[in-house]
């Protein structure tokens, strides 16, 4: 089937100019990814090997109540550990033993590295191998780093999923299989699974799965579709296992979701009529739900500070579907291969920036005075003090925003700061 059989969105500028900065940056660390990952893999536990600061960060970010039983915790490194006065591996073994004795429901345990464990060179990969041998087959023990020294906050998910790839079994079926990669809210995953089935793609798996015992197989007949743009390491690991990436825009907004589903449909040779039958009503419903937001937000300017790596797909959605005008779209890392389809849709007047020099970028924000600035929590208060309206980028990760039925929720997140400002004036 021709690759142009299914409808493609009109393209814009494929090669915009890019400002590249390598100065001080302001982002959360990769430990933050645990906040949504522990909800997704329901029999897994995330044990951060770190300091009390790490524990306070997770408690604050997750809003965990004192009576809750979350699927994450912190093995707190005390002064004796950091000074080398105690054997950190022996202490870690004791913590893991107590944890697994108290929580027999745990079937997969992630040892998550932090800044303190990285500083003292604690080899968590060897610890994970040792503990996995001891507790196998009841519990698999894996590790990845969430250290802020090396990762931005969404890259914590990337490192976690990359750690899962070696655990995937080899695919034995010769039939093509679709693997959707990236943590999605269960309701969104169910919606996509239903749409793929209606399109005619029958063999679909999701990574991460809801249960660690349901890890999908992977092999040369696996085609994978990224649900998140920040999964560069995971994509590399899957490619090394023989899987092939399906280039696509990301499923944000009505247009993005149709293009994302359409890329999979073309890759699997789906019937174009089946594709339109499966998506037409949902796409039309999403567009109707977006119209009131477009009436309110068209022409408003927006500036993206680099934080989540969602910035380029968000800018595309807000500009093309809501009529907003991006002044600068900053992102911590611009993965050209994964964002190629998104970059084609951005207008030629959109300024992209990769990396960050905080002070220089703040100067550009204050000079431009956009209607709204998307940034991390650490930058929001200073900008609000300057009279600028801000949107917390981390909220875009915690909230289900992918797919047709979530398109209006995504638009609502950007409309909310304007509504708040109007109410405060009253």
Contact between 116 and 50 under an 8 Å Cβ cutoff? The reply is: yes
Please state, in angstroms and as integers, the Cα–Cα distance from residue 238 to each residue in 163, 192, 281, following that order: 11, 21, 34
Pairwise CA distance, residues 328 & 331, whole Å: 10
Token pair listed for 49: 């090997």
Structure tokens at 405: 């039925």
- Binding site feature residues: 29, 54, 115
Residues 6 or more apart whose CB falls under 8 angstroms from that of 303 comprise 326, 327, 328, 364, 365, 368, 370, 372, 373, 374
In whole angstroms, what is the distance from residue 386 CA to residue 370 CA? Answer: 12
Taking a C-beta distance cutoff of 8 angstroms, is the pair 158, 183 a contact?
A: no
CA distance 345 to 89: 50
d(CA 306, CA 310): 9
- Alpha-carbon Rg for the chain in angstroms: 22
| Neighbouring residues of 197: CB distance < 8 A, sequence distance ≥ 6 | 204
Q: How many helices (H) and strands (E) does the chain have?
A: 17, 14
Q: Which strand ranges, in their side-by-side order, compose the sheet holding 140-145? A: 72-76, 44-50, 108-113, 140-145
Cβ atoms of residues 18 and 353 within 8 Å: yes
Residue numbers in the known binding site for [4Fe-4S] cluster are 29, 54, 115
Q: What distance in Å separates the CA atoms of residue 411 and residue 297, rounded to the nearest whole number?
A: 9
User: Closest by alpha carbon to 346, among 368, 327, 333?
Assistant: 327
Q: Please give the backbone phi and psi of residue 391, each rounded to the nearest 5 degrees, phi first.
A: -130, 125
Residue-wise DSSP of 108-161: EEEEEE-HHHHHTT--HHHHHHHHHHHHTTT-EEEEEE--TTT--TTHHHHHHH
At 246, list the tokens: 């399906």
Tell me 103's DSSP state.
-
């Amino acid at each position: 089937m021709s690759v142009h059989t299914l409808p493609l969105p009109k393209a814009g500028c494929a090669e915009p100019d890019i400002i590249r900065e390598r100065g001080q940056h302001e982002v959360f660390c990769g430990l933050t990814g645990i906040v949504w990952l522990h909800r997704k893999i329901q029999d897994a536990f995330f044990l951060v090997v770190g300091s009390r600061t790490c524990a306070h960060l997770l408690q604050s970010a997750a809003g965990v109540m004192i009576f809750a039983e979350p699927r994450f915790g912190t093995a707190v490194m005390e002064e004796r550990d950091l000074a080398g006065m105690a054997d950190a591996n022996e202490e870690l073994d004791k913590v893991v033993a107590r944890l697994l004795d108290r929580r027999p429901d745990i079937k997969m345990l992630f040892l998550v590295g932090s800044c303190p464990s990285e500083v003292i060179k604690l080899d968590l990969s060897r610890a994970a191998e040792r503990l996995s041998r001891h507790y196998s087959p009841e519990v698999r023990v894996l590790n990845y780093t969430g250290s802020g020294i090396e990762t931005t906050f969404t890259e914590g998910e990337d490192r976690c999923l990359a750690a899962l790839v070696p655990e995937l079994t080899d695919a034995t079926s010769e039939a093509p299989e679709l693997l959707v990669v990236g943590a999605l809210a269960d309701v969104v995953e169910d919606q996509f699974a239903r749409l793929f089935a209606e399109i005619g793609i029958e063999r679909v798996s999701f990574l991460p799965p809801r249960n660690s015992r349901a890890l999908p197989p992977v092999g040369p007949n696996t085609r994978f579709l990224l649900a998140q743009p920040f999964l560069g390491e995971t994509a590399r690991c899957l490619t090394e296992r023989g899987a092939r990436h399906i280039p696509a825009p990301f499923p944000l907004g009505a247009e993005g979701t149709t293009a994302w589903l359409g890329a999979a449909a073309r890759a699997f040779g789906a019937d174009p009529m089946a594709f339109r039958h499966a998506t037409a009503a949902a796409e039309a419903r999403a567009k109707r739900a977006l119209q009131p937001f477009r009436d309110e937000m068209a022409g408003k300017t927006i500036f993206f500070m680099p934080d989540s790596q969602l910035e380029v797909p968000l800018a595309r959605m807000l500009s093309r579907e809501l009529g907003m005008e991006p002044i600068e779209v900053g992102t911590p890392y611009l993965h050209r291969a994964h964002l190629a389809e998104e970059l084609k849709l951005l207008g030629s007047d959109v300024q992209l920036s990769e990396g960050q020099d905080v002070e220089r970028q703040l100067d550009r924000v204050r000079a431009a005075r956009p209607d709204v600035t998307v940034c991390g929590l650490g930058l929001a208060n200073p900008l609000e003090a300057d009279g600028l309206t801000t949107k917390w980028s981390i909220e875009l990760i915690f909230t289900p925003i992918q797919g047709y039925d979530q398109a209006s929720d995504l638009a609502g997140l950007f409309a909310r700061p304007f509504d708040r400002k109007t109410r405060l004036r009253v």
